[in-house]
Structures are given as C-alpha cells and as structure tokens.
Structure 1
C-alpha cells in the first residue's frame, strides 16, 4: 500500500462461467522465503570458506617446512655474500653475483608460496572468470604437492590440452582439487605403491573431465552409494563434509562430480566443467 516493492509469486488461472472467461489471480509474499534462501546461501559460502582454512590448518606443519627451506637458503646465500665482501677480493665478483641471483630466486619462491596461500584462503563472493585449465590445475597441484611429498607420494599431472579454458571460480575449483588430492594422500598412507595422477580429457566439444586417481585401497562399497552426502566419512576424526562441499562447488560452477573404482585398484574422482572456446585472432 505504501509503494514498497517486495518479492512475490503470481499464479493466474482461467475459468469459464456461462460462456464468459474469468481469471483468478493469487499473489504470495515471498519476502521470508527469499530471505531464508539468502541466509542459506550465506551459510554455504561461509562453510566453503571455513573449509579452506581447515585444509590449510591441516597442512600447517608441512607448509612451514616448505617456507623454511627457501628462507634458510636466502640467509645462507646472503651470509656468503657478506663474507666475500668482507674479504673484498675482485675475483669473487662472479660468485657474489651468482649467490645474489640464487637468493633472489629463493625469495621469489617463498613469496609465491605466501601469495598462493593468501589467495586460497581469501574470502570473497563467487567470481567466475575464464581460466586456463592447465594453469588452474598446476597451481592447485603445486599447493597440494607439499603434503604429498611429506608422505612419500608420487604426484603426476599428465599432459593436457593447452587450449582448454573454463569459466569458473578459480579459487573454488582449486579448493576441490586440493581436497581430492589430500583425501587421496590420506587413503594411500598404508599402501605399498603411492602414486597419484591428475589428468584432463575433452568429454565433448563443450565439456572437460578432470580425474584425480590414486593407488590406495579404494572406497568401501557401503560408502560409495552416498559418498557425497553430508556427514558421510570413513575417517574416525572426520566430519564428512569435504566431498559434500566439493559437490556443492562443482554444481555451482556448472559441472558434476562422481566416483569410480580405479582399474588396477584404488579410487578415482572425476568432475566435469564447461569448456570455453576462445576466439583466436588471425596472425597478421
């Protein structure tokens, strides 16, 4: 009555009355429903964000070790340079330049690790953009490989089409990959063969399929049917939300995710994403 707009649904029906056409309209105020849906979306976004922090917390010790290596190298190189400068020998100049270059490279490596971590845990709205699938998978694999190396696991990213691009939220898809890789690493803890592979194939002209495969014991048949449900887990200390969050993310980005037994033993998780074909300008 006061001119305020509000979300609503309108249903119009038609009836006949002695040859006349009559219409009935039912309008429902959707304010509460829309507000509830927004609260649910906010909670889902918060859960996804908290899950990224949880992943980093779990890998905290290995991340600290990974950062310590280049920082220690920088300190060592700079100490060597200082000692050479104290001696002030002209012939040492090439060695000084080499040591400074090595220190710079290790400092850049440490900075790259910190930058990747900052991006990974950053809060933000879902922001879809066109991304190179090759670069996206490589970045996630680099982040997760820290944990794999600590566990003695061979992680291999198989060659993939260089022209594959997808329209996705980059950080969310990296979150899915990191979660799948960590799950695979944990599954192979007692395995004699510890090999993890990430591959990508063109499902069709408009879709790509990413596969994360391990050589672990595979998925228990009792869990396989409801693997992506909330609170379903084979871990004694897990909450069973990781794969449920993965499914939510993949579906929000226009794909689907599923599990299959790996031929030869182990498990493989696969998900699809919509492919974007970029227009390539003619040379000249």
Structure 2
C-alpha cells in the first residue's frame, strides 16, 4: 500500500499532498480508494472525482513494472474532463446541424407553397372576390394543401423518431445463450440475403457463451446492423455478412457484424452515430444512434471500423 513516488501532477489532480500511502485516498474519495485497496494490473478505467475544485473525469491504468529486481505497480492518472467537454460540444454541434437541415428541408416548401396559395386569395391588401376565383386556382390550392399536409406528416414522423430516441426503456436483462439470439437474427435476415445472393454466417465461440442482455433490444440492434449490411451489399457480387459472438482474452463479451461491402468513408465514420444523420434516400437516420443508446443502457459500447471490410462491434460489461 505504500506509494513510493507520486509526481506533482497527480497530487494536483487529487488535491492532496504528500501522497505516501493508498489509505490517504480514502480521505479524497472512498470510490477511488476502492480501486487501489487491492490493486492489481487493470485495463484503463474511468472514475468521476468531485471536490471543491469541481468535477473531474479521471482515467486510470495500472501496469506492472520491475525496477532493480523489485516488482512495482505503475498507475497512470489522466484528467479527461476537457476532452469529454470538447466531445460533448462537438456532438451537440453535429446534432443541431442535422436537426436544422431536416427541419429546413421540410419547412421551406411549406412556406413557399403557402405564399403561392395566398396570392390566389389576396391581391395586395384586398381579398379576392368569389367571382375572380377560378377552377385553376381551386385545383392549384388543393394540390398545394396536399403537399403541405404531406410535409407536415413528415415533420411529425421526424419528431416521433426523436421521442423514440429519448424514451428507450431500461433493459430487462437476463442470461441469453448467444447461439439463440444469433440464430433468431439469422432467420429474420435470411429471406433477403437468399433473394439477393448474399452469404450470411453466424458464429458463437464458445458454443455455450451467454450474454446478460435484453433480448428484444439486442435483436433490434442486430437486425438494424444486418439490414444496413444488406443494403451496403446490394448489387455486389459475392456479398458476405458474418455475425460473431465471442469473448476477448480480457473476459469481455462481444458481438461483431462484418460485411465486405464498399465500406464507410473516414469522413462519415465520425457521423454515423449522430441522431438523424443518414446517407440513404429513405429512413430517419435513427437506427445507429438508437443502437448506441441501447448499448449505453447495457453498460456497453458500440464501435465501427471500416477498411477492407466494415465491422460494428458491440462490447458488453
């Protein structure tokens, strides 16, 4: 438990000096002390630290080292609050840009058509008399109002998608065999893949792997990823989708969805999880952001890489 050396930076971060023993951390934050109490090498973890100087988000990573034959543990502590603030600001900017784009696309024709119809009913400040209002004006007004109605319905659907994104229920989790959920997804995707000459393969390793998940929510994510992969492979020869469930050497359980389609450009990789962002001519662009929300509620994450193949990776706690 003795701290042989603590540099000035970590003492400033923890607002405590001198640091000589891990028990001193209990006075700083009991949760932080809990990480150090039985210290073992661990992967990078995040800990929220609040004190009179404000809130900090600390990443901690513990690595074994040997100095002159003595086995020691080196703990690296880094304050990532600024990075998180920058990322949050960037995420808001992306979301607002997409929202304003979608809303303007819907409202602009409504405004334009409304002005055109209004000209049939008013000349300057005077209302048009019934005698001046002809059959052509009636037909054009009816067509214009139909377009306004359609645009209004589209905007309502868009808002409903936003409400769906914000109201994802807490997962009702239970241990589910990975083979069960993969087979279910395979059957749901198979009709499309068979009709479009796409190979679909599901793999669970080990065979008895179990996932602590909300089965309905995870099925929704995998179906969305599978359909995205199908659309990416449309018209491509020897298209292939592989869905794999496994466990990393560190004991983290995961599911990957990989396709050999044209891939996602580096510029788009940072945008795909932004709500309502889409490169398709149809759809709301809510699927991937909803998937990210569901994984966050599971205490996990979703990541994407795209080189020769495109792979979405779901990682579970």
TM-score (norm 1): 0.51
Change (3 A) 1:191 1:266: farther
Match of 1:181 in 2: 226
Q: Superposed, which structure 2 residues align to 1:227-246 within 5 Å?
A: 227-246=272-291
| Other-structure match for 1:47 | 164
Query: Where does 1:64-143 land on structure 2 (aligned, <5 Å)?
Result: 126-143=171-188
Larger radius of gyration: 2
Superposed, 1:23-34 pairs within 5 Å as none
**Residue of 261, 271, 274 corresponding to 2:314:** 271
> 2-side partners of 1:124 and 1:268: how far apart?
27
Q: What is the rounded CA distance, in whole Å, between the counterparts of 2:166 and 2:305 in structure 1? A: 27
Question: Residue by residue, what CA displacement relative to the aligned partner does 1:66-106 show, whole Å, maximum 9, x if unpaired?
Answer: xxxxxxxxxxxxxxxxxxxxxxxxxxxxxxxxxxxxxxxxx
Counterparts of 1:171 and 1:192, CA distance in 2: 32
> Shift of residue 132 of structure 1?
0.9
Quote the Cα distance in structure 1 between the aligned partners of 2:296 and 2:162.
Answer: 14
Contact 2:199 2:238 in 1 (8 A): no
The equivalent of 1:212 in structure 2 is 257
Mapped to 2, the partners of 1:205 and 1:164 lie a distance apart of 15
How many residue pairs match? The answer is: 161
Asked if structure 1 preserves the Cα contact closer than 8 Å seen for 2:161 and 2:284, the reply is no
- Which segments of 5 or more consecutive residues in structure 2 lack a partner in the other structure? 1-51, 53-159
In the TM superposition, residue 48 of structure 1 has moved relative to its aligned partner by 6.1
Bigger mean CA deviation after superposition, 248-257 or 155-164? 155-164
Q: Is the 8 A contact 1:134 1:161 kept in 2?
A: no
Give the 3-state SS of the residue equivalent to 1:272 in structure 2.
strand
Determine helix, strand or coil for the equivalent of 2:281. coil
For the pair 1:152 / 2:197, whether they are aligned, the reply is yes
Deviation sequence 1:256-279 (CA, Å, 0-9, x none): 0010124xx2311111123xxxxx
Between the aligned partners of 1:270 and 1:134, the Cα distance in structure 2 is 17
Structure 1 unaligned regions, length at least 5: 1-12, 14-42, 51-122, 275-284
Bigger relative contact order (CA 8 A; separation at least 6): 1
Asked if the contact 1:207–1:272 (Cα under 8 Å) also holds between the matched residues in 2, the reply is yes
Task: Please state how far the C-alpha of 1:212 moved relative to its aligned partner.
Answer: 0.6
Alpha-carbon displacement from aligned partner over 1:23-70 (angstroms, at most 9, x marks no partner): xxxxxxxxxxxxxxxxxxxx89962699xxxxxxxxxxxxxxxxxxxx
User: SS in structure 2 opposite 1:158?
Assistant: strand
SS of equivalent to 1:269: strand
Q: Which residue of 2 aligns with 1:255?
A: 300
Instruction: Give the corresponding residue for 2:206.
Output: 161
**1: distance between equivalents of 2:163 and 2:284?**
16
What TM-score results when the alignment is normalised by the length of structure 2? 0.46
CA distance in structure 2 between the aligned counterparts of 1:159 and 1:231, rounded to whole angstroms: 32
1:159-188 alpha-carbon deviations (Å, 9 max, x no partner): 421221121111100110000000000000
Match of 1:17 in 2: none
List 4+ stretches of structure 1 deviating above 2 A.
Answer: 43-46, 123-126
